[in-house]
Structure 1
Amino acid sequence: MTGTIPASPAGADRMWPRYESPADLAEIESVPLAARGLPESTYALLTRAARLWPDRTALTVLPEATRWREPVCSTFSELLADVHRYANLLHRLGVRRGDAVALIAPNCAELIPATLAAQLAGIATPINGALSPRHIAELLHRSGARIVITAGPELAAETWRSTRESVLGGHIEALLVLRPTASDAAADPLPRLDGIEVGYLTDLAADQDSTGFAGRPPTATDLAALFHTGGTTGIPKLAAHTHSGEVANAWMIAANSLLDTNSVVFAGLPLFHVNALVVTLLAPLFKGQPVVWAGPLGYRDPALYSQFWKLVEHYRIATMSAVPTVYAALAQCPVTADISSLRYAMVGASPLPAAVRENFQAHTGITLIEGYGLTEATCASARTFPSAPRPGAVGQRMPYQQVKVIRIGPDGSWNDLPRNHLGVLAVAGPTLFAGYVSGRGEHGHLLDGSGKLVDGWLDTGDLARVDHDGYIYLHGRAKDLIIRGGHNIDPATIEDALLAHPQVTGAGAVGRPDPHSGEVPVAYVTLAAGAEVTETDLLAWASERVPERAAAPKSIIVLDSLPTTDVGKPYKLALRADATRREVLDALDTTAGIGAVSVSIEDGSVLATVELDTTADAPAVEAVLGRYAISWKVQVDQ
């Protein structure tokens, strides 16, 4: 595949260094990032793309997986025009530079320009529509958003219901509604809401100027977005991104020399996730690369997988970005099309099991490129290379970012560790977030590093080691450590041993409460179709391969699927909750009067609730529970 990248004569050579192997990093960094001539904002990045490639297709948006031959397409100039219309509508509604605009919808043709428009007029605040109305309402309150762009009843009925419930009684002034991609049906009438302007976004923006923006364009240091982190327990935090951070991280991804202007990108992750924004929306703007967007369910649509290889052939997809669970599923789908256009596939968001890598690559012949990043560092901080595989590593740090491993003392002090020592990974550089939103003041959002930012470095919370060549090896989350009698056990050592079994397709190890050791390791696995291995077999397998006796799992439970978050990350809290429930049930097995045992997750912690009938000896039950280092409560039915 060939292609040229037009650029201004003054910045052509500076913007695009050679970047296709680890050896290129030093040469890239010999030129300061400030000399690369990057656009100062996401809006400037978009206007550059529209100027250089006005008539090239920018977006191809699929209505749904089964209708992948019926897309809605937009050129770069048409995308910019839509962004201007939407941003001018937001400006008319009173949105200014420091104001948040919430976006609560699955991916669709209107959401993409709406997201860029929110960053132009104010600060985009994408919110996962699958969150509870209480969580959505709290995020709206915390962001200060007065304008909400949301899925309508045709696009996502449950999201529409949750959003309506969330905005009632709040300070929302307008609800701008999105319709399904390529819908030819008459729009449903929208309800009246007291004190809130309600209307379809495209209709309300139809008479707005498409040639420019009426307000003040953003600068490099302005906030571009507020992304919520997590969202599975408690109230997620809002991490503030600057325009310069998003643009710099997008450039680091786009600088990849393996793809050119003709390389088509596939996008299937939701736009409330930073990967979707930075990797599959902003980065392609740098080289004018076309992006094919999946339907509203994205990779969560079961129908996508049976059609996927035909879709790759039809659109000549060159690369894609997804989570490990997607590649595990695709490895089971027969390749019934010409997929020679697919150069490589990017994987991130959670550690890539060796078995998933091997199965996918053997099945397709496509190389998986692993990456590492987190919302607090905008998106991506490390990447691997097809030409220089490094088994077990998530990659080399990306240009202009720095990494180190630290030990955090009981008093919170940081101590740097030598190479190849295990500790907490810290990163620094131009992509670090501005802080978490802690409130609003006279001049906008109040931001707080919450102890994660120290002297320009970010505590990632990930256990890792960095080798002498600068490659990063992850060893799980620091908070996921299993602590058995004061001894730290890395769950990855257990998971790796189980994943080496030919019939195991997934594994998650957690600590089960124990009255003597505090915690003991247990594991959960998924098995290949038709597997005949038993839990006893797997216990024997693990005991022979886990590197230390203390880490050998005490039990192994087979599940149909391992719990994940909405973006496919392993959800260890759910496993810890299940392990706690099983232990409490076992501990109270012979106790009379036990009605039920339930476990909930509240603010990131596991809480066990034991219901008793009137015949139970409540003090005796409490004495049993008191032997464990867990949160619990006892309820007596009257």
Structure 2
Amino acid sequence: MTIDTASAAASPLPSYLERIRRFPAIRDRNDIEVIEATPWTSLELPDSTLELIQISARRRPDATALRFVMDATAQQQGQRYTYAEFLARVVQAANAFHRLGVDADDVVSFLLPSLPQTHFTLWGGEAAGVVNPINPMLEPEHIAGIMNAAGTRVLVALAPFPGSDIWDKVEAIKDRVPSLEKVLYVDAARFLGDDEARALRERLPLPDAADWCEDFDRCLDRAPADRLINERRIHPEERASLFHTGGTTGLPKLAPHSHANEVANAAMMQMLFRHREDAVILCGLPLFHVNAVLITGLVPLMIGAEILLATPGGFRSPGLVDNFWSLVERHRVSFFSAVPAIFSRLLEVPFGDAEVSSLESALSGGAPLPRAVHGHFEELTGISLIEGFGMTEGTCGSMANPLAGERRTGSVGLALPYTGARVVALDDQGRYLHDCAVNEIGTLLIRGPNVFDGYSRPEQNRDIWVEDGWFNTGDLARQDADGYLWITGRAKDLIIRGGHNIDPQMIEDALYRHPAVQMAAAVGKPCERVGELPVAYVSLQPNRQVNEDDLLSHCQAHLAEKAAIPKNIWILDSIPLTAVGKVFKPALRQDAVTRVYGEIANAELGPGVARITACQDATLGLVAEIRVPGDVDLSSLKARLEAFPIPCRWRQAS
């Protein structure tokens, strides 16, 4: 396969982008029906992510594909890659991986922050074989477990660098993954000044040359940039990536995406956002997450727009949030995506004299967006803040509030074009009973060209399909009369902390290792900053004594994922159970809401003034009912609780 960008200057808009451009802006379900009247196959989307990038490079070779900013506080324009340069580096990565033994079904894993080399690894890995992004903040044993489940042949990882322990983890796991044949290290010091880079490498030398590792960029430099040396023709149904999803206990759960899945989801998101080709799309989320890879990665690459890679750590980097508005002004950013906690933090950052009129819209996902944050952010910036819903099993996005229509705060919006979404009633065995009525709570199902075809391990696919091709998301939802979907709970019980999924089982397993614990259950408690924080409830073995501090110390010692360490562990006489002896977690979630809101009410109104009970509402899901005397001023309490994701129902005596 030869890569040609030479004749690109006058290339017309490809047919799929021309069709998307002519579709109506989405205001309501009627516009989606108009779009879906065009058969999906007639869009003639690219067969692969590589072909998608190739088309953009042929059409806009000299336009900026990627700009990397090492330091958010610096005034430099950053490292720029044109589309021709970006494609060349992706092809070199694919060829380098192929020379290291990677064929269509072989896996390239990576442990990297957000660097240009991360993009080259992503798309080059998909062009050569299958790419497997891994969260580098996981502990070594879990990283090794994911790599063994994936069958990793090549690993790309960050070389020793200040503030990073990635290379220490590589050293710890390299002999624990039998399929691993080569590690390529990325030297991020190349993005520093010469003197700073030289001083850094004197303190932290690069790994010694060895059979098992070598420099990533030097390896790419030796590979052709104008063709795939394996002459591979990628078919849409072939596997492109393996994303880890769910918790970190037991066998890792890997969700495969085909090239067709990824290209389809990029097209769907463009139908929603309608970015122009001169857009600048800021990526601040980590590139091991589907949101960063698809929404602020493949979507701009599809339309020939610019990706602004905002520091290696993205929103985790010191200084990025504090300097966000000046960064928007300097680079004329038009769009970014983040989790609710980031929008909440940005509300605390003054604009100063920054001119941010280039910013048009933003996407919030990963956790419920508090109503107060949504309203205040739109008022402050004047942009459209879109709340949506997605999951790794749906490649990334499946529904969102319409950019050109009514945005209903608290709703995840309408199903994207060509994505099916239903709310259904299931029996105790997960079998379909009937579709739910308007505003009736049931289980959310999705189907479409973006939905994967099952986890990599067949035994993990039991009960995930309801009828033909409908994936059971495990989320509870309702759909209103206009088609807007509202998530009301999670049947899967995942705790979502600022967009990060925490498996409660890992917390429970750790607590069960304590000799005093008889039963343990972990749930999320509401948090105004990150949506949910993990907490746990335990009952004790007869005649055993232990306190909360002892149990918290135990969790700190036995939980590899630090984000999963509970913020509280409450000891009960007994854990609530269902009639068949299962832990009844809805009662625990209600108790957690009552405790959190009660503590705030006591602080604002005085001890015992408000009576708070949490309950399940048929329409709203989990709510907090707050009863107060008629002569109490509720303004301060309402202001505090508006920032939390669980809505309140106020009862004030007359």
| TM-score, L = length of structure 2 | 0.74
SS in 2 for 1:248: helix
Aligned residues: 528
Which of 348, 372, 377 does residue 355 from structure 1 map onto? Answer: 372
In structure 2, the partner of 1:420 is 439
In structure 1, the partner of 2:173 is 166
* 1:427-446 matches, cutoff 5 A: 427-438=446-457
SS in 1 for 2:56: helix
* 1:193-592 matches, cutoff 5 A: 196-215=211-230, 216-231=232-247, 233-234=249-250, 236-256=252-272, 258-336=274-352, 337-386=354-403, 387-416=405-434, 417-438=436-457, 449-454=461-466, 455-480=468-493, 512=537, 515=574, 517-518=576-577, 519-520=587-588, 521-523=590-592, 534=603, 541=610, 543=612
CA 1:204/1:189 → structure 2, altered by over 3 Å: closer, same or farther? Answer: farther
Counterpart code for 2:394:
A
Counterpart code for 1:177:
Y
CA 1:125/1:397 → structure 2, altered by over 3 Å: closer, same or farther? Answer: same
Taking the aligned partners of 1:378 and 1:239, their CA distance within structure 2 comes to: 9
Contact 1:5 1:261 survives alignment (8 Å): no
CA 1:234/1:158 → structure 2, altered by over 3 Å: closer, same or farther? Answer: farther
Which of 180, 183, 186 does residue 178 from structure 1 map onto? Answer: 186
Q: How far has the Cα of 1:73 moved from its partner? A: 0.8
CA 1:547/1:309 → structure 2, altered by over 3 Å: closer, same or farther? Answer: same
Q: How far has the Cα of 1:161 moved from its partner? A: 0.8
Contact 2:160 2:205 survives alignment (8 Å): no
In structure 2, the partner of 1:612 is none
In structure 1, the partner of 2:31 is 24
Contact 1:542 1:552 survives alignment (8 Å): no
Q: How far has the Cα of 1:543 moved from its partner? A: 2.1
Taking the aligned partners of 2:239 and 2:459, their CA distance within structure 1 comes to: 11
Which of 31, 48, 52 does residue 55 from structure 2 map onto? Answer: 48
| TM-score, L = length of structure 1 | 0.76
- Render the CA deviation track for 1:601-638: whole Å, top value 9, x for unaligned: xxxxxxxxxxxxxxxxxxxxxxxxxxxxxxxxxxxxxx
Q: How far has the Cα of 1:296 moved from its partner? A: 1.4
Taking the aligned partners of 1:524 and 1:228, their CA distance within structure 2 comes to: 30
In structure 2, the partner of 1:91 is 98
SS in 1 for 2:387: strand
Contact 1:383 1:397 survives alignment (8 Å): yes
Of stretches 38-47 and 255-264 in structure 1, the one that deviates more from structure 2 is: 255-264
Q: How far has the Cα of 1:67 moved from its partner? A: 3.2
Contact 2:374 2:409 survives alignment (8 Å): no
Listed as ranges, the gaps of 5+ residues in structure 2 are 1-8, 496-522, 538-571, 578-586, 627-644, 646-654
Taking the aligned partners of 2:17 and 2:430, their CA distance within structure 1 comes to: 45
CA 1:366/1:437 → structure 2, altered by over 3 Å: closer, same or farther? Answer: same
Contact 1:408 1:414 survives alignment (8 Å): yes
CA 1:404/1:95 → structure 2, altered by over 3 Å: closer, same or farther? Answer: same
In structure 1, the partner of 2:153 is 146
Taking the aligned partners of 1:130 and 1:208, their CA distance within structure 2 comes to: 31
SS in 2 for 1:85: helix
Taking the aligned partners of 2:379 and 2:91, their CA distance within structure 1 comes to: 46
Which of 125, 128, 137 does residue 132 from structure 2 map onto? Answer: 125
CA 1:48/1:544 → structure 2, altered by over 3 Å: closer, same or farther? Answer: same
CA 1:405/1:358 → structure 2, altered by over 3 Å: closer, same or farther? Answer: same
Contact 1:135 1:235 survives alignment (8 Å): no
% identical equivalent positions: 34
| Residue 85 of structure 2 is aligned to residue 78 of structure 1 | yes
- Render the CA deviation track for 1:492-540: whole Å, top value 9, x for unaligned: 9x96xx97xxxx9966697855637444433369999xx9961875975
In structure 2, the partner of 1:558 is none
CA 1:96/1:133 → structure 2, altered by over 3 Å: closer, same or farther? Answer: same
CA 1:111/1:507 → structure 2, altered by over 3 Å: closer, same or farther? Answer: closer
Contact 1:82 1:113 survives alignment (8 Å): yes
Q: How far has the Cα of 1:363 moved from its partner? A: 2.9
Contact 1:121 1:217 survives alignment (8 Å): no
Counterpart code for 1:174:
K
Contact 1:436 1:450 survives alignment (8 Å): no
Taking the aligned partners of 2:242 and 2:382, their CA distance within structure 1 comes to: 38
Contact 1:6 1:12 survives alignment (8 Å): no
CA 1:63/1:510 → structure 2, altered by over 3 Å: closer, same or farther? Answer: closer
Q: How far has the Cα of 1:137 moved from its partner? A: 0.6
Taking the aligned partners of 2:275 and 2:173, their CA distance within structure 1 comes to: 43
Taking the aligned partners of 2:401 and 2:424, their CA distance within structure 1 comes to: 23
Contact 1:509 1:523 survives alignment (8 Å): no
Taking the aligned partners of 1:118 and 1:447, their CA distance within structure 2 comes to: 27
Q: How far has the Cα of 1:548 moved from its partner? A: 7.0
